[in-house]
Structure 1
Amino acid sequence: MDGLPAPGAHTRRGVAMNNVGRLEPCPCGSGRRFKHCHGALGATDVETVEIPPAQLENRIREHALESFELQRQQGRTRPIISTVVDGSRHVFVGNRVFRGPWTTFTTFLIDYFKDTFGIDWGNRQLTLPVHARHPVLQWMDALHEQVAKHRGSNDRHVFSVPDVGCLRAIRNLAYDLFLIEHRIRPDQGQRAFDDLLDRLRDPDRFDAARHEARVAAMLLRAGFSVLWEDDAAPDRASHRGGFTATYPTTGRPFRIDWAVGEHKHGGDALALGDVLAASLQQPVPLERVVVLDLNHADAPGVRKEDWQSRAVEQLHALEQDRSYADLPAALVVLLNAPDRHALDELIPDPGMVVEGFRMDRFRVGDRVALAREDDRAIEMERLLQSLGEYGFVPVTFDGSVAGLDESRRLLFGEFYELHEASGVLEEAIVDDGECHAIGFVRTEAGNLRALRVALSDQEMWAWRRQPESFFGILHRPDRRARKPLDLYEFLYAIYRSAPKDKLLALMTDQPDTERLRAMDQAHLAKLYCFRVAAEIGNSPDSPEMPAWLRHLLPLQRDDTDSAPE
């Protein structure tokens, strides 16, 4: 275009420098000749800025926290790509761009779900009787009823809907499709995705296609690449299929087989032998993983007693059954997704079973050993992590933690005012049972003071979701304290090696200071941690409150203004 310098031209303050003579004054205004300024060999317009070490360390820590929160929410797959332009949210999914007023990723998913299935297709479904409509239309009908029920006369844009079956079913399928489309491979991914959508729109093939999408999304979230093979097209009659998944870091491929059980109400949903045999009958020179959906209307673990143990027992029995002697070794994942069978009910997490079939690894009780194995276990470790995270759909576009009020948040390294004291927050834990955080503040005098902060339901949800980053920096994940003993162990991990003189300085107001001075460091550290834990935990065995503990007053917070529903 006119007015732009030629490619590769040096520019400074809007002036093209490619035609400046080397003996002429430099256009930058320095007063030096061009050859001694921006025309010098290796000259650059990059300005070097010296950053103080503390500021640089903080920025590195912030970047690590942001990266952790993003990966914890979105997995090891391609992150959500989104930006706001002129007040409108733009979301990039595969080869498509969506634009709308969405403030959260979950609200975007509802519109993405409708658009991906097809607005015209949905309108045609609405002309059918309710009982004859496609399952996803029945989900949408149930969701609209829930919205109307809980909105009531409330005209606010933000209100809460319980996490009932219809909402979970829509949200999880929408996110699975998003993950797949977002990772489409140009050579064959689009064709496979279109074929998956065709089968999802077919009521007779819907259950199988739904499970296929779930398994593919689990693999993608774990960091695998997924290849749909022509010879691995889903078996329409038995509701099973498969594909190849490769872990990019190691380059090791795996054969992934999936299958869906027959939909049952009541009865035994764990007839695994025939389904497992059908999934493993095709010989493949790869390590095998089989993911089976029980497709049971009941929620295992709630209405069925200990279904996980029964499943493991049945798998072990199959290993001894001569009828299945020719089946290859495989990692077997059993799960159940009853959401679509109970649209208006709150469904607890039904859990899952992960067990090795004809394998020495991945046996019940062998999870610790798994973590100690060589690098052959890294792919399955990533998959197991993804399985555990399944169902947690990101709320935000950028990986930030939803449900936190930054103005009320406890953050390590921040300065807090207490009653008659102030200091920097050094440690903190969350009491899961009492729904509050206990923070430990180091005062300017070097003493440790405690504060107790009530946490809202949204803050507790955020902590349970990401305990490692809840207090603003990456920290040890075990931050809970259900009992005084838990609090004692937490404190002892910090002070077990503290010098004796430091411990005595923290207990100068104790009534038995002479006895404390006579103790060795090990006993003194334990007693200090016990007394702090006993008082903060309100233990009935707590000694009389000494003067130095009377100042450990809670940080007062105004909880009168309710958070958005």
Structure 2
Amino acid sequence: MTVQFQANPPYDGLVAKVKGTFGPHWIEKQRLVPLEARHVVVRWLDEWNALPERLFAESEVEVAESHLSGQAQELVALGCDLTTLGASGPLPSKLRNRLRDHREYQGARYELAVAAMIQRCGLPIRWHPDKSIPEWRIYAARGGPEFFASIPGTQVRVAVEAKSRHRPGALNVEGTLDTEAYLADVGHLLHAAEQKDTQGCPLIVFIDLNLPDRPDVEGKPAWLHQIEVLMSAYDGPERSAGFCLAVFTNFAWHFAGQTSVLTRPPASLHVPKRSLRELKYPTLVDRIHRALEGYGVPSSEGALLQG
């Protein structure tokens, strides 16, 4: 993706959405703490301001065009998701607070991304617990999924769970990432998702690997084979999966830092041969696939995927 920096940059509305969600007072307080302790969103905002300055320092033109850096792309994607969800109402206050929290940000951010993608597929969502029903306190205590989504024109709901793999040195997590040990290691997250109380609804699981982009010798994502091995355990006739669809993503532009990003994040979708509760709407899988292909691209905002 490229962005033109001029008098009214085309993505300023998305960045303003991020600023409004986190709040100017909170942002300024974050800028008073040391850089290494600063929330990643504020670091991305600083990169957004610095990117055009770097471009214009290298050129005397009035309009500069450049690919987004990894950090700037993270900011744009966040703005896209906030805009999509904001069209149907305010974010739950708990989710907004988790986005501001260093330790909670990663999980909350991925929940936001998944919810926005599902909504772009044309499915209205209700966050768990759904306080519009009398039994919401009972369901809240059972540990349900992130949210439920309704299939338009039917009485069918699907449960959606989102998991993001925490890595040292990434997304507010302390430590240093071991770049040599390139392991997907998300089997435990998939198993935990299967234990959620879905109230009898089919379960769709999204898991983000949170790994630096790295191709194998064939040019495919280096983590893809590990995911295929993980999912092969569900291919046998003796095992029924607790989910009807597993989606593995790698939304990891942040690892690129100030380096330009030129490719879209890969994803891998898996429908198990047998499921405890099958998804009887295969077109939804196609919609999710298309939503993933356009993820983080502002031009796709507001467009519902049909099929």
TM-score of the aligned structures, taking structure 1 as reference length: 0.44
- 1:299 has 2:213 as partner: yes
| Closer, same or farther: CA 301–252 of 1 in aligned 2, 3 Å | farther
| Closer, same or farther: CA 174–309 of 1 in aligned 2, 3 Å | same
Asked whether the 8 Å contact 2:241–2:274 carries over to 1, the reply is no
For residue 253 of structure 2, give the secondary structure of its aligned residue in structure 1: helix
Q: Displacement of 1:312 after TM fit?
A: 1.7
Q: Displacement of 1:127 after TM fit?
A: 1.1
Correspondent of 1:331 among 245, 248, 251: 245
Q: Displacement of 1:358 after TM fit?
A: 4.0
For residue 350 of structure 1, give the secondary structure of its aligned residue in structure 2: coil
Asked whether the 8 Å contact 1:291–1:334 carries over to 2, the reply is yes
Aligned letter for 1:288? Answer: L
- Paired residue for 2:189? 275
1:110-189 equivalence runs, <5 A: 110-152=15-57, 154=60, 156=62, 158-184=63-89
Asked whether the 8 Å contact 1:281–1:327 carries over to 2, the reply is no
Distance 1:116 1:305 in 2: 33
- Paired residue for 2:231? 315
For residue 274 of structure 1, give the secondary structure of its aligned residue in structure 2: helix
Q: Displacement of 1:350 after TM fit?
A: 3.2
Gaps of 5+ in 2: 1-5, 130-138, 168-176
Q: Displacement of 1:305 after TM fit?
A: 5.3
- 1:357 has 2:272 as partner: yes
Distance 2:162 2:302 in 1: 32
- 1:108 has 2:20 as partner: no
Correspondent of 1:200 among 76, 92, 99: 99
- Paired residue for 2:3? none
Distance 1:122 1:306 in 2: 36
Distance 1:223 1:253 in 2: 13
- Paired residue for 1:228? 127
Q: Displacement of 1:117 after TM fit?
A: 1.2
Distance 1:321 1:344 in 2: 48
CA displacement, residues 488-513 of structure 1 (integer Å, 9 cap, x when unaligned): xxxxxxxxxxxxxxxxxxxxxxxxxx
1:457-476 equivalence runs, <5 A: none
Distance 2:12 2:70 in 1: 17
- Paired residue for 2:174? none
| Closer, same or farther: CA 268–321 of 1 in aligned 2, 3 Å | farther
- 1:289 has 2:204 as partner: yes
Asked whether the 8 Å contact 1:232–1:241 carries over to 2, the reply is no
- 1:250 has 2:149 as partner: no
Distance 1:107 1:172 in 2: 13
Aligned letter for 2:152? Answer: P
Distance 1:398 1:252 in 2: 24
Asked whether the 8 Å contact 1:181–1:193 carries over to 2, the reply is no
Distance 2:156 2:25 in 1: 42
Q: Displacement of 1:136 after TM fit?
A: 0.7
| Closer, same or farther: CA 291–213 of 1 in aligned 2, 3 Å | same
Correspondent of 1:215 among 90, 109, 114: 114
Aligned length: 271
For residue 225 of structure 2, give the secondary structure of its aligned residue in structure 1: helix
Q: Displacement of 1:104 after TM fit?
A: 6.1
- Paired residue for 2:165? 261
Asked whether the 8 Å contact 2:145–2:196 carries over to 1, the reply is no
Distance 1:126 1:133 in 2: 7
CA displacement, residues 534-555 of structure 1 (integer Å, 9 cap, x when unaligned): xxxxxxxxxxxxxxxxxxxxxx
Asked whether the 8 Å contact 1:253–1:286 carries over to 2, the reply is yes
- Paired residue for 2:298? 393
Aligned letter for 2:281? Answer: R
CA displacement, residues 142-165 of structure 1 (integer Å, 9 cap, x when unaligned): 232322110226473x42232210
Aligned letter for 1:386? Answer: A
Q: Displacement of 1:200 after TM fit?
A: 0.5
Distance 2:298 2:178 in 1: 28
Distance 1:200 1:182 in 2: 19
Q: Displacement of 1:279 after TM fit?
A: 0.6
Asked whether the 8 Å contact 1:232–1:243 carries over to 2, the reply is no
Aligned letter for 1:198? Answer: N
- Paired residue for 1:341? 255
TM-score of the aligned structures, taking structure 2 as reference length: 0.77
Aligned letter for 1:301? Answer: P
Select the structure of larger CA radius of gyration: 1
Distance 2:233 2:98 in 1: 35
